[in-house]
Amino acid sequence: MAARTIDFERPFTYVFKDPGWVQKVLLGGLFHLLSVVLVGAFISLGYQKKLFLALVDDENAPLPEFEVSKDLAEGVPILGIHVLYWLACVLMAFIPCLGTCISMLMGLAAMVLVPASLTRYFVTNRFSAAFELDQVFAYIKQNPTNLALYVAMALIVGLLSSVGTLACIVGAFFVSFWGALVTTRALAETYRLSMEQPPQSSEPPAEPASY
């Protein structure tokens, strides 16, 4: 039986239900701005992991507070996962004749593969879990519709970020951070709904890491 479909609207409105959303989005946007020197990227990614785990525990959890040093440390392996997957796509482009086509196909596949891999890492807190492709593909097979909805949301927030760039370069970073919260919410809800289904492999479902 397929997993229940996530609410497409709720991730977009979730952020604004937090009484302190303005301050948190402003601070997150500043860290996104600092991504040009990597430090901000680590903090933002670590914050997204913390938000994911909070929403897995409680779908109505408010936006967590920033813990700069902890978020930075948590974000390092997450950026590593992103880099390794996208590096694989780039390297494929150097294959003679078909390299560019293969790289483009891998880039499209990575839009689903990377979030599924990040989910594996978030709920196990094991870096290697993001590259256990049999389990990653099993998760994708279990949740094709919800992951497709996740990709659609990611494309929408990406478009909104582009509009923000045209309107105001600095403002784009705040829109981008809001978009990251939207997609994190969608990813957490996908995982929560997947836990309602029987496991698709011999490995028992991973429990969220405790902090």
Write the single-letter amino acid at 110: A
Q: What is the pLDDT of residues 108-161, one digit of tens each?
A: 778 899 999 999 999 999 999 999 999 999 999 999 999 999 999 999 998 887
Q: How many CA atoms lie within 13 A of 180 on its CB side?
A: 23
Round to whole Å and give the CA distance between 79 and 84.
9
- Global pTM? 0.85
- Considering just the CA atoms, what is the radius of gyration of the chain in Å? 17
| C-alpha separations of 206 from 28, 67, 115, 123, 195 in Å | 29, 25, 16, 6, 9
Domain ranges in the chain are: 10-194
C-alpha dihedral sign at 123, 124, 127, 132: negative
Q: What is the pLDDT of residues 153-200, one digit of tens each?
A: 999 998 887 765 555 666 778 888 999 999 999 999 999 999 877 655
Q: Which of 48-52, 84-88, 103-107, 204-208 has the highest mean pLDDT?
A: 48-52
> What confidence score (pLDDT) does residue 173 get?
83
Report the mean per-residue pLDDT for the chain.
85
For 198, residues 6+ apart whose C-beta sits below 8 A from its C-beta are: none
Does the pLDDT of residue 97 top 70, yes or no?
no
Q: What is the pLDDT of residues 67-86, one digit of tens each?
A: 999 999 999 999 999 999 88
Find out whether 46 and 71 touch, Cβ atoms under 8 Å. yes
C-alpha dihedral sign at 121, 8, 41, 52: negative
> What confidence score (pLDDT) does residue 207 get?
53
